[in-house]
Structure 1
């Protein structure tokens, strides 16, 4: 099994475990993710985003409400102010062997290792907008993430909310 890590740094030779501020209960770890959730990280590192999709437990009402106007299975919502940074970002994907990692969160696709890990390879991701659209995501831009975050969290859709601490202030 191969796992992935995305970075704007092109030359990381080893990933050493470190504390994760978003997960203070964890010991220092190296984070990686599975192929299915890789498109969640086709963004600049600090870009706040809300990504959601139907799950086995999603109600018919929520499925209609959130997906009535799209054929996409997954929707990524980003603040409009990040468009130019997404266009200009040089992002790299690091590939790891999965043998030292354990799954931390199946929904988010997170895996962690408490060992120092050397990547098998590193490659530029390329055109982020093209990669996102090629992955079958619907990409939406909005002035504020707060309304969609509140709707998603209160619903039965599955979701990943990434770097929300960097979102613009609530209007």
Structure 2
């Protein structure tokens, strides 16, 4: 599930959104109101239930082969996503929707950019599309999906490596 040309995506478990209004996200350190979305490269970060904690790592330009083999695995592709066992059932059962939004009012945010934001209301280009089986999406994209008892040991290895990484909803991970 990726955006087409001139589009960005917003993933949600709510299939009833007619218009996205700028708001201050509860999970954001920023105090400006935005409509949040992602481009094609960051869509896989959101192939999860909203509150599911996930640790993601991928090869980047400065990634060493040693770190890639140690954390992603030899011959295992360029990217790995990790979740905890307690979230596996939710991933298999969630009803997730993708809203296609016009890319025009959005600009990148973050350094490096991890999302796109708009400061004006945005109307979807059409009705939300159900996102298919999230495990199948990972497989089709060549992304290793790892299920762990606890994310923190993996996260600590990833953040100390040369891999690029992102952690979402980690506050919901086991302590």
Distance (whole Å) between structure 1 residues aligned to residue 109 and residue 44 of structure 2: 18
Q: How many residues align?
A: 169
Return closer, same or farther for 1:108/1:130 CA change in 2, 3 Å cut-off: farther
**Farther-moved stretch of structure 1 (157-166 vs 21-30):** 21-30
CA deviations on 1:68-87 (whole Å, 9 max, x unpaired) are 33432110000011111111
Indicate the residue corresponding to 1:23 in structure 2: 28
Q: Give the superposed CA RMSD.
A: 1.5
Indicate the residue corresponding to 1:160 in structure 2: 166
- Check if 1:114 corresponds to 2:119: yes
Q: Contact conserved, 1:37 with 1:108, CA < 8 A, in 2?
A: no
Deviation at 1:24, TM superposition (A): 2.5
- Check if 1:79 corresponds to 2:79: no
Q: Structure 1: which 5+ residue stretches go unaligned?
A: none
State the TM-score, normalized to the length of structure 1.
0.92
Q: Contact conserved, 1:108 with 1:160, CA < 8 A, in 2?
A: no
Distance (whole Å) between structure 1 residues aligned to residue 75 and residue 148 of structure 2: 17
Q: Structure 2: which 5+ residue stretches go unaligned?
A: 1-5
State the TM-score, normalized to the length of structure 2.
0.90
Give the counterpart of 2:140 among 131, 134, 138: 134
Give the counterpart of 1:125 among 124, 131, 135: 131
CA deviations on 1:29-81 (whole Å, 9 max, x unpaired) are 11100112211111100000011101001123312322333432110000011
